[in-house]
Structure 1
Amino acid sequence: MSTIHATDETAAIQPTATLPPRITAALIARLTGMVAAGSGTDSRPPFPMTEVYTGAHVGDLPQSRPEDITEAFAVARAAQREWASWPLRRRLAVFERAHELFLREGETIADLIQIGAGKTRRMALEESCDVPMVISHYLKTARRVLRPRRHGGPVPLVTTSFEEHRPKGAVAVIAPWNFPFAIAISDSVPALIAGNAVVLKPDNKTALCALFGVELLYRAGLPRGLFQVVCGTGPDVGPTLIGGSDFVMFTGSTATGRVVGEQAGRNLIGCSLELGGKNPMIVLDDANLDDAIAGAMFAVFGNSGQACMHIERIYVHERIHDEFLRRLVAAAEELGSKIGAAYDYAPEFGSLVSADQLARVAEHVDDARAKGATVHTGGRARPDIGPAFYEPTVLTGVTPDMVHAKAETFGPVVSVYAFRDEDEAVRLANDTDYGLNASVWTTDLARGRRIADRLESGNININDGFVATYSAKSTPSGGVKQSGVGNRHGDQGLMKYTDTVNIGVVKLQVLAARARLPYEMQVKTTLATLRLMRRTRLR
């Protein structure tokens, strides 16, 4: 560990936190210098970045004005015209190099993630691996997905149609703070591969790791200006960012997603929204409890509960409910003894992202406690460790009048309930406005599939919490109900960043009305032709 001191070159940053040796004042200055933001008397006050573990000042992040965002789009669009002209194989060669760079720089990426988000080293390293996984998937599939396709026209043999997928132009990516590196860069990669420019808005608190990801892509060979970064609060930069784009990829709350979707609709551009969740886990009476407890611990408390797909409600068959609860509480208490603030692998449970997020989590737990819920373990902040630490918390007796029952808490808090039969479990799991993720635990996989078929969720994991679906980069992932619109990953995760163009070719003029033939006869001929093509399966 080394303390960063300001130099003349970086005097405006004045970092004071004790950070890993890889994170120098020069690196922070270089990264923050990538933000599209004006300087001088008309610039906006910078955002003071802090190390979550201590609350100490790390650096100042420039904030973009509307005119800065407009200029960023102009620069990005100019670079995009060159980038889109490159053959796909040349664009993919950039990402071949980027794949190795992201793996090689994994430790620095993890450092930057931890500084802003406060998660454990394990979670930070796992997050850094998401980008190479996404790159690897699209390196394998992009040629197939984006290649032009020839189809039959309306009249066999003499007409043909061609399907092409062209880049939309400039894509806005609005990334959250909970997985600030993975989502910012992994959502941008397919947009770039498809031939687009990207204008990224990371969260202020966690921007450093996203900026480093952009730097690595430039080092891999992206044309200068193609990937722009703007920073600021949503109300300050959102309207100009969305208004200047040809497509929006947003990950965040359902409330903000509605605002993004409304503005995209007014501008007649597409959007993909991954929004909130109140995700259920069902533990059937034949479940392997060793596996189910281990799975629940990660699904509930991984990343300190700050994952869109993490589990906040667990429904356990009444026959095994008490034993499951006993073991879950014991495991949560053990995890609570391994809380820590360190840039190594010793701590197994990390910080929340900010004191504000801690206040939200504490408010939900305090409300449940005041209204009669039982707190079996946790339910306390840990200021002795850092300003945003909160213990792993297990509740029972949560009733519909409690905030935690319906609202997304987004922290290390779970409520446990008993159910009598499968019908009740499915009804309770589906009793939410959200539909992002669900989990079913059973030793009978056919039974698990039957339950999964009845759950209202865009991602459903059998004998896993959420990793099985999210890590399956070949399969589209998204939410239903109030949890989102559109998908990331899979073919759809690439195709959404393109416009589909239909080119029709007529080799012989057979579509126009035939001169001197009565229209009634033309109708009969057309209907007879349609019947013949159906019988012969020509069309």
Structure 2
Amino acid sequence: MIPNRLQERPLPEDFARKLLLHSTNAKSGSLDKGELREVTSPFLSEPLGFVGVGSADDVIKAFELSRRAQQQWQERSIASRARVFKRFHDLVKAHRDLLADIVQLETGKDRTAAYDEVLDVMNNARYYANNAEKFLATKDQAGAFPVITSTTLQRVPKGIVGQISPWNYPLALGVSDAIAALIAGNGVVAKPDWQTPFSNLISLHLLLNAGLPHDLFQIVTGSGEVVGQAIAERCDYLMFTGSTKTGKLLGKIVGERLVGYSAELGGKNPMVIAPDADIARHIDTITTACFSNSGQLCVSIERIYVHKDIYDEFLTAFTAATEKLTLGSGLNWDYNVGSLINQDQLDRVTAFVDDAVVKGATVITGGIARPDVGPFHFEPTILADLGEGTDLETQEVFGPVVYVKRVASLDEAVELANSTNYGLNASVFGAAETAERLAFQIESGSVTINDGYAATWASISTPLGGVKESGMARRHGPEGITKYTEVKNIAQQRIMPMRGPKQMPRKYYGQLMTTALDLGKKLKFLP
């Protein structure tokens, strides 16, 4: 039964069936065998829909179809490919409410977090459609010697990019990376998470309407063990977002094949509060940094190190701001904190909190499930005074739980911030000069000053990713599209061979080259 608060925009009865027609599983016939999996929603008591259970054969078929389409797609001009994604941008904008509805229904997240996904897809489509020609253009480079040697750099599509995306941001992470891969001239074979396939499928529907060639972008729904592994074993480049544990397993598969790999993995993201931070001004931003999307966010803050001079003031303000957050469910803007994705995630978050309490932690606020709001809701939680060996001190919770620690100095705060194997995102609050100094010392792929993560994530012209065990390669910026290409060096020799005229005695060759290099250094016309 659909709750009353969802009925203001009910789904069409054939919603799932229409979306399912765009999956490779439907084309390859596995649905005819009755191999279906139920897709549930944290908001609904009845199934949201069904998807096919993909097999290795389905993946093979998907690659065959995509490779066939990719041969013609890569021959189109970059400008022609980009125009498809300019139209896609406009379609996403036109259907933004429907897309946000689907994201909310699949994940149970709040409306603001769902809308962030829509904006992210639009931002990526706009950015790469507008800049692809510049980033991918064939360019003349400096040759070995002026006049007699010319060099050209050409970027060639990798071929078929495999994409494995998670459930926490199914629209943004399921489509935004694919945009760059496709504009670069590749095909894509993608596996969305079991729990959130429809965000990917509706995006494919819009891409086809925007003019993307049929078969170029394939979606195979199925398990990671079967479909995910089969994709990793066949792709020409792999893009993965998910846990560090799974990322390492996939890295072994593509590494043995000498295939390129881009991965955004886990994080245990720190925040440092300097004594000159303006707490009153930034407290709502700090709260958002910890509890947006119910903490189910790879760049979400999970640990806060506060200078002793400001600790009491900070904890009082942070507690008050956290307790003002409202829990809720439904397709509306009336609440700040939505549901966790499922019972397993609720059990995981609960176990972290229980372990911390048993080992001496103080619950400042929250710490309990809220079945009165929804089956998988958990209160935004602040912990302090962690005991020795507490799991959440170093392990990623991926839920609405953060711990606060008093530090004697900013040097101690930086040391603690760098004390884990992760390095995805970090945040510093303080006066500009103080915060900038700390930001340069923290070991992280991104550091956001006086913000949690939004400023770095939304600055799409700058590459973004993790260090240490938080990932490799980057999304966003020029690197976010050039990683999907191979670089070809085309050099042409004119007038005379590199080793000089045929008539030149060989004993003069070394002397001539040395003189030429010295001259180039003085005149600065050599690379």
- Give the TM bin, normalised by the shorter chain: over 0.9
Work out whether residues 314 and 416 of structure 1, in 8 Å CA contact, stay in contact via their aligned partners in 2.
Answer: yes
2:395 pairs with 1:407: yes
Matching residue of 1:14: none
How many Å separate the matches in 2 of 1:21 and 1:517?
83
How many Å separate the matches in 2 of 1:230 and 1:40?
11
Tell me: CA distance 1:308–1:40, structure 2 relative to 1, closer, same or farther (3 Å).
closer
With normalisation by structure 2, the TM-score equals 0.96
Matching residue of 1:387: 375
Work out whether residues 274 and 485 of structure 1, in 8 Å CA contact, stay in contact via their aligned partners in 2.
Answer: yes
Q: Report 1:259-338 matches (<5 A).
A: 259-335=249-325, 338=326
Tell me: CA distance 1:40–1:125, structure 2 relative to 1, closer, same or farther (3 Å).
closer
How many Å separate the matches in 2 of 1:178 and 1:199?
20
Shift of 1:323: 1.6
What do residues 233-288 of structure 1 show as CA deviations (whole Å, max 9, x unaligned)? 11111221112211111000001111111111111110100001000001111111
2:412 pairs with 1:418: no
Aligned mate of 1:182, from 156, 164, 172: 172
How many Å separate the matches in 2 of 1:403 and 1:2?
38
Shift of 1:77: 0.8
Counterpart amino acid of residue 410 in structure 1: F
SS at match of 1:205: coil
Aligned mate of 1:228, from 211, 218, 226: 218
Tell me: CA distance 1:196–1:41, structure 2 relative to 1, closer, same or farther (3 Å).
closer
Matching residue of 1:374: 362
SS at match of 1:85: coil
How many Å separate the matches in 2 of 1:251 and 1:290?
35
Gapped runs of 5+ residues in structure 2? Answer: none
Aligned mate of 1:459, from 446, 449, 462: 446
What do residues 383-440 of structure 1 show as CA deviations (whole Å, max 9, x unaligned)? 2222211110000012450110000000000000111222111111111110000101
What do residues 352-410 of structure 1 show as CA deviations (whole Å, max 9, x unaligned)? 01111111111111000111001111111112222211110000012450110000000
Shift of 1:120: 0.7
SS at match of 1:204: coil
Tell me: CA distance 1:466–1:346, structure 2 relative to 1, closer, same or farther (3 Å).
same
Shift of 1:20: 5.8
SS at match of 1:57: coil
Work out whether residues 279 and 311 of structure 1, in 8 Å CA contact, stay in contact via their aligned partners in 2.
Answer: yes
How many Å separate the matches in 1 of 2:281 and 2:157?
44
Higher mean C-alpha deviation, range 92-101 or range 29-38:
29-38
Aligned mate of 1:500, from 487, 498, 501: 487
Aligned mate of 2:237, from 247, 251, 262: 247
How many Å separate the matches in 1 of 2:30 and 2:363?
53
Matching residue of 1:35: 23
Tell me: CA distance 1:469–1:360, structure 2 relative to 1, closer, same or farther (3 Å).
same
Aligned mate of 2:205, from 215, 232, 246: 215
Shift of 1:521: 2.4
Work out whether residues 54 and 223 of structure 2, in 8 Å CA contact, stay in contact via their aligned partners in 1.
Answer: no
Aligned mate of 2:476, from 483, 489, 501: 489
Counterpart amino acid of residue 486 in structure 1: A
Shift of 1:510: 2.6
Aligned mate of 1:534, from 502, 521, 525: 521
How many Å separate the matches in 2 of 1:43 and 1:115?
28
Shift of 1:140: 2.2
What do residues 115-146 of structure 1 show as CA deviations (whole Å, max 9, x unaligned)? 11100112111211111111111122111111
Work out whether residues 188 and 218 of structure 2, in 8 Å CA contact, stay in contact via their aligned partners in 1.
Answer: yes
SS at match of 1:150: strand
2:76 pairs with 1:86: yes
How many Å separate the matches in 1 of 2:259 and 2:33?
30
How many Å separate the matches in 2 of 1:467 and 1:40?
41
Matching residue of 1:24: 12
Counterpart amino acid of residue 371 in structure 1: K
Higher mean C-alpha deviation, range 521-530 or range 212-221:
521-530
Please tell me the root mean square deviation across aligned C-alpha atoms, in Å.
1.8
Work out whether residues 35 and 64 of structure 1, in 8 Å CA contact, stay in contact via their aligned partners in 2.
Answer: no
SS at match of 2:74: helix
Counterpart amino acid of residue 264 in structure 2: E
Matching residue of 2:350: 362
Shift of 1:21: 3.3
How many Å separate the matches in 1 of 2:30 and 2:321?
54
2:502 pairs with 1:521: no
Counterpart amino acid of residue 455 in structure 1: I
Shift of 1:318: 0.6
Matching residue of 1:10: none
How many Å separate the matches in 2 of 1:19 and 1:499?
49
Tell me: CA distance 1:400–1:54, structure 2 relative to 1, closer, same or farther (3 Å).
farther
How many Å separate the matches in 1 of 2:62 and 2:451?
42
How many Å separate the matches in 2 of 1:281 and 1:41?
48
How many Å separate the matches in 2 of 1:399 and 1:474?
42
Counterpart amino acid of residue 426 in structure 1: V
2:333 pairs with 1:345: yes
Gapped runs of 5+ residues in structure 1? Answer: 5-16
SS at match of 1:21: coil
What do residues 153-189 of structure 1 show as CA deviations (whole Å, max 9, x unaligned)? 1121111000011111111111111111011110100
Shift of 1:63: 1.4
How many Å separate the matches in 2 of 1:18 and 1:115?
9
What is the percent sequence identity of the aligned residues?
39
Work out whether residues 329 and 373 of structure 2, in 8 Å CA contact, stay in contact via their aligned partners in 1.
Answer: yes
Work out whether residues 170 and 246 of structure 1, in 8 Å CA contact, stay in contact via their aligned partners in 2.
Answer: yes
Work out whether residues 465 and 475 of structure 2, in 8 Å CA contact, stay in contact via their aligned partners in 1.
Answer: yes
Shift of 1:93: 1.2
SS at match of 1:505: strand
Higher mean C-alpha deviation, range 254-263 or range 322-331:
322-331
Shift of 1:107: 0.6
Work out whether residues 55 and 387 of structure 1, in 8 Å CA contact, stay in contact via their aligned partners in 2.
Answer: no
Counterpart amino acid of residue 478 in structure 1: G
Q: Report 1:194-213 matches (<5 A).
A: 194-213=184-203
Matching residue of 2:146: 156
Tell me: CA distance 1:472–1:418, structure 2 relative to 1, closer, same or farther (3 Å).
same
With normalisation by structure 1, the TM-score equals 0.94
Ranges of 4+ aligned residues in structure 1 off by more than 4 Å: 1-4, 17-20, 40-44, 513-518
